[in-house]
Structure 1
Amino acid sequence: MTEGIDWIARAGAKPKGRRPAFFEDPAIDRLLSLTMAVVGEVAVLRERLDTVERLLEAKGTISRADIEAYQPDQLAGEERGELTRAYIARVMRGFQQEVEALENPDPPIMDWVEKFSK
């Protein structure tokens, strides 16, 4: 861990510039921000758990130093990357569905009524 940096104070620091706004209601933007922060924390926990599992499988016992010093090999890195991509895809699926709906809107109901009444 980096010495001398107060990460708790840094996490509460006000960013420069305006806060990004994606929705009309600022509460939704704050909720999205909070949700994405939790998503990031869960992703880190998943990688750390993967580290613990791999070390236990290899050594049978581990220490905190083992966990901190662990460097995944290429295969482990690729597996982690795939798991992370799948996780993010599941989390973001609702947004993706909204984008898809905007790109390919359903025809108005009257179009269907006219089509089936002929």
Structure 2
Amino acid sequence: MDVKTATALHRLRLVSVPEALSFPALLIFGSLLSRISDIDYLMMPLGLVHGVLFVLYALFLLDVWNKAKWPLKRVALFFLLALVPFGGLYGDRLLKRYEADGMIASRARKEGVVNA
């Protein structure tokens, strides 16, 4: 795995957990708060934060797809995980595994263990 691919994977991991927690923590909490009180002005900034995190996640996912040459099924899985509340937490676990596997393969190539 080259440095650009590893960086793209790491960026996706950095945004996956906040994106996964932004829907249930921000939007559901804000919705409940606006229903039980007169605080309606919180929904717009909370929705904006969630929207920015989701767009960043989608852009970083496209970047990983381009650099790591992932199959479309894997990219679709990660996109669907972003739509499910707390799905990004599972996606982060998968990303850790892909990142570790890529680093192991990269070290093996550098040491001449694997010809790839």
Same fold (TM over 0.5): no
The answer to which structure has the higher helix fraction is 2
- Which protein has the larger Cα radius of gyration, Structure 1 or Structure 2? 1
* TM-score between both structures, scaled by the size of structure 1: 0.34
Greater relative contact order (CA < 8 Å, ≥ 6 in sequence)? 2
TM-score by structure 2 length? Answer: 0.34
